[in-house]
A and B are shown apart, each in its own frame.
Chain A
Amino acid sequence: MVTQRDEVRLPPVLSGRERLVQWLKDNVPSFIAVILIWELLTWVAAEPALFPRSGVFPGTFEGSIIQRGYEVIFLKAGETNCILCVHAWHTSYRILIGIAIASVVGVSIGIAMGISVWFEKFMVPIQSMLLPIPALAWSPVCVLWFGLGNATMIFITSFAAALPAISATWTGVKTVNPIWTRAARSMNANGMVLFRKVTLPGSLPFILSGLRIGLARAWRAGIAAEMVAASDWGLGYAIFDSREDLDMGFMLVGIATIALVGFIIEKFLFEKLERATVIKWGMMAEVGSG
């Protein structure tokens, strides 16, 4: 009989409540620090039109960022309810469609580069030329091609997201641990089956990190492009437009919303995806696990 020494490492299982407490402990101190630094700044600058108070302290609500935030979320602007939500929604769907297109196109191109030497040789110079171009540089071109609005926005965001997706996927496919491939080949896996069951899951950590970088780039390029090429809606447009009225409160609320929505998409899309795959498989460590 074989001696059993089956030590196993499993992460502790936390309840929903414990996870929330842990999450607050991990995140709240950073937020508090940012607010305090801002308050210090408003006090030093002493110019409420340019540096409005945050409004977290009692008695500072009037004219504060929080008040402006309250107005654009809860009060009607003309006929529109929650004007901030409408701006955020426009920005989000443009960027998510861009990301979706970039994922399909970028990952496919990256895979093709990883598999076919011919295609790799063909693509590498093109990729090197496209990489240094900021997606925003395409905006005047796109405006002339597609006009102001969604088509231009989606082109720019998908361009911004596709390049990191391509290069990460390419690297991932090229660096799949050869021992996995050999083990699979020894059991007669080859062709598409080998690709689908070994190469693709084996390169998933790279693919996901490429998409994550792609998302960040698309998000930034998208907001910037809205300032130049969007009509009437979108957070970038709203922020840019607020300068006309010296509406500093709305600008800052808009910027905070960009951060928040970006954070939520990353948290609920990417972290979920990573937890369900590469983290569960031990191919990537979880945030904060060292």
Chain B
Amino acid sequence: MSSKVSIQKLEMEYTLKDRLVHALTDINLEIEDGEFLVVVGLSGCGKTTLLNILGGFFDPTGGTIELDGRPIDEAGRLNRAVVFQEYALFPWRTALGNVEFGLEMKGVGKEERVEIAMKYLELVHLEKFAQFYPHNLSGGMRQRVAVARAYAYEPEFLLMDEPFGALDAQTREDLQSLTVEVWKKTKKTIFYVTHNLSEAVFLADRIIVLAGQPGVIHKVIKVDLPRSEEYKRDVFDPRFVELEKETTDAVRGN
């Protein structure tokens, strides 16, 4: 495995209502190609800010980010797609139309676009709902379309900002399983922000704990748990519980 994204001495400051907020300081992080990286931390630790910087929505005030060894401002934006916490589907497009959007932006022709989009809708088990508009789908289905849309863009790097936080527990678990399943099939690099620690242990290759204000990397936890054939983890494994406890302690600052 090689380093996909390399973050060096990243600093982030911004002004919020005339107050200077120092959001992140001295962030150094190597993200491996194909890695599932999960970022956790208390509210206000800067985890979403970090995601927004990687997404290209904010420019950092210091430090460098390199993609495949080249600074991102030189290589252009990161080839990335984002799944947001809120429903970010376009209501005026069908499920299929939403998934097609990124492909349209890449200039893929109509026929090929539909074919690829359908493939990804099948991946999230929504092929039967291709012609439905988002408002006729349940919350869980909408987030699945959002996941399919992000994957169909075929980004090298996928950013997910508490994507399943607003869903009920059962739907969330389904989507977590689905996410690892799709991740393994498509071999993407994922940067996933959550405040749900059990979710973090279930999904991650590595957990990054951010803490403090300004946020620093407080701890890095390697999740050395086997995944089943469907890439799932046994949540009742004593090691799972141990890791969840370790993460909880780290988030609390121990």
A9 and B92 contacting across the interface, CB-CB below 8 Å: no
Verify if A245 is at the interface (C-beta below 8 Å from B): no
A180 and B88 contacting across the interface, CB-CB below 8 Å: yes
**Which of A4, A183, A198 interacts with B82 by CB under 8 Å?**
A183
Provide the residues of chain A in CB contact with B91, threshold 8 Å.
281-283
**Which of B57, B105, B137 interacts with A193 by CB under 8 Å?**
B105
B136 and A282 contacting across the interface, CB-CB below 8 Å: yes
Residues A187 and B177 in contact in the complex (CB < 8 Å), given A6-B129, A179-B88, A280-B133: no
Provide the residues of chain B in CB contact with A116, threshold 8 Å.
none
A201 and B90 contacting across the interface, CB-CB below 8 Å: yes
Return the chain B residue nearest A10 by Cβ: B136
Residues A281 and B138 in contact in the complex (CB < 8 Å), given A186-B81, A187-B101, A188-B105: no
B33-70 CB contact bits vs A (8 Å, 1 = yes)? Answer: 00000000000000000000001110000000000000
B133-176 CB contact bits vs A (8 Å, 1 = yes)? Answer: 11111101100000000000100000100000000001100110
Interface of A (DSSP majority class) = loop
| Count of chain B residues with a beta carbon within 8 Å of a chain A beta carbon | 39
A182 CA / B56 CA spacing, docked (Å): 10
Verify if A209 is at the interface (C-beta below 8 Å from B): no
Verify if A7 is at the interface (C-beta below 8 Å from B): yes
**Which of A4, A187, A201 interacts with B105 by CB under 8 Å?**
A187
Which of B101, B126, B175 has its CB near the most chain A CB atoms (within 10 A)?
B101
Verify if B122 is at the interface (C-beta below 8 Å from A): no
Verify if A8 is at the interface (C-beta below 8 Å from B): yes
Return the chain A residue nearest B102 by Cβ: A187
Verify if B4 is at the interface (C-beta below 8 Å from A): no
A202 CA / B77 CA spacing, docked (Å): 25
**Which of A6, A182, A186, A198 interacts with B90 by CB under 8 Å?**
A198
B133 and A182 contacting across the interface, CB-CB below 8 Å: no
Q: How many A-B residue pairs have CB under 8 A?
A: 86
Residues A2 and B174 in contact in the complex (CB < 8 Å), given A183-B82, A189-B105: yes
B101 and A184 contacting across the interface, CB-CB below 8 Å: yes
Provide the residues of chain A in CB contact with B84, threshold 8 Å.
179, 182-183
Q: Which 7 A-B pairs have the closest CB atoms?
A: A282-B135, A187-B102, A183-B88, A201-B92, A186-B82, A281-B91, A179-B88
9 A-B contact pairs sorted by A residue (CB < 8 Å): A5-B171, A8-B141, A183-B84, A188-B105, A193-B105, A277-B92, A280-B133, A281-B91, A281-B135
Provide the residues of chain A in CB contact with B90, threshold 8 Å.
180, 183-184, 198, 201-202
**Which of A8, A189, A281 interacts with B92 by CB under 8 Å?**
A281
Provide the residues of chain B in CB contact with A198, threshold 8 Å.
90
Verify if A224 is at the interface (C-beta below 8 Å from B): no
How many chain A residues sit at the interface, stated as a range, is: 20 to 34
Provide the residues of chain A in CB contact with B104, threshold 8 Å.
197
Return the chain B residue nearest A189 by Cβ: B105
A179 CA / B141 CA spacing, docked (Å): 18
B81 and A4 contacting across the interface, CB-CB below 8 Å: no
A138-182 CB contact bits vs B (8 Å, 1 = yes)? Answer: 000000000000000000000000000000000000000001101
Verify if B5 is at the interface (C-beta below 8 Å from A): no
CB within 8 Å of B: which residues of A? 2-10, 179-180, 182-189, 193, 197-198, 201-202, 204, 277, 280-283
A170 CA / B106 CA spacing, docked (Å): 30
A10 CA / B81 CA spacing, docked (Å): 30
Verify if B125 is at the interface (C-beta below 8 Å from A): yes
B92 and A6 contacting across the interface, CB-CB below 8 Å: no
Provide the residues of chain B in CB contact with A201, threshold 8 Å.
90, 92
A8 and B136 contacting across the interface, CB-CB below 8 Å: yes
Verify if B132 is at the interface (C-beta below 8 Å from A): yes
Provide the residues of chain A in CB contact with B77, threshold 8 Å.
188
B134 and A2 contacting across the interface, CB-CB below 8 Å: no
Return the chain B residue nearest A194 by Cβ: B105
Return the chain A residue nearest B173 by Cβ: A3
B92 and A2 contacting across the interface, CB-CB below 8 Å: no
A187 and B153 contacting across the interface, CB-CB below 8 Å: yes
